[in-house]
Amino acid sequence: MFRQSKVEYKNNQQIRSMRKAGLVLSAALDEAVAAAAVGVSTRELDGVFAGVLKASGATSNFLGYHGFPASICVSVNHEVVHGIPGDYVLRDGDILSIDGGAIVDGWHSDSARSVIVGQARAEDQRLSDATESAMWHGIAALANARNVGDVGNAIDDYVSGLDGAPLGILQDYVGHGIGTAMHQPPDVLNYRSGHRGPKVKPGLCLAIEPMLVLGSLETTLLDDDWTVVTTDGKRSCQWEHTVAVHDGGIWVLSAEDGGAAKLAPLGVTPVAL
């Protein structure tokens, strides 16, 4: 029962193909985040994102996935993940996570960013900053990890070591392998557990995506069978990047600079192929 499903390891050329998908995705998220403003609907954000993919010759790996009706997930305030873009109009102080993916030449990328519309509440800004930093600590840990579980250990250690009010790490939703499909083995936990996971070796590609909450870890699935919300109504946040391990080091495929700026303070230098 503890056996891992087979992990898909990529060669350098395949990783380069995933990098193409990651760059298109990064550009599409840039545009969607820039468009997030008071008075804009979440459906409009989906249109902006989809337009960039179309202009780049890429396709969405979200649209139609098990029937999902849009190119991005837009999760607002107490929505944790898988929010469906629609008629909701953004308001001042909303915190939203935009999660999207792109396929180029059959290779997938997956990334998420959070943005606060208008005037941010201090606790929401702290939540977003902490979630993003937790992701980068997990990515940095991958550079020298022996097992995939080391990523979750690093994320948990960072979050539990923060000063101030404690933040919760959701355990029901985790990162994953990625490559010829959006979701592949192995699971990438965002917390400490007794499970080490598979060994980290060249060719491993992961989507690392911590989700933090201001309150309880309990979540509820809405009637649309997609949107997950915090049961207590407290706010949530998600950040995610696709990262490759190769013979020369790690490379953040969905970051335009490969992760250089954010990894430098953590003592890690990404290596491009």
Q: Which residues are annotated as a binding site?
A: 82, 99, 110, 176, 183, 209, 240
Residues comprising the binding site for a divalent metal cation?
A: 99, 110, 176, 209, 240
Q: For the chain, how many residues are written? A: 273
Distance CA 139, CA 260 (A): 11
Residue from 259, 172, 171, 251 nearest 204 by CA? 251
Residue from 87, 85, 91 nearest 50 by CA? 85
Residue from 127, 175, 135, 174 nearest 158 by CA? 135
Residues comprising the binding site for substrate?
A: 82, 183
Asked whether the beta carbons of 74 and 96 are under 8 A apart, the reply is: yes
Asked whether the beta carbons of 89 and 74 are under 8 A apart, the reply is: no
Q: Say how far residue 23 (Cα) sits from the centre of its chain.
A: 15
Q: Any idea what the Cα angle at residue 139 is, between residues 14 and 170, rounded to 5°?
A: 115
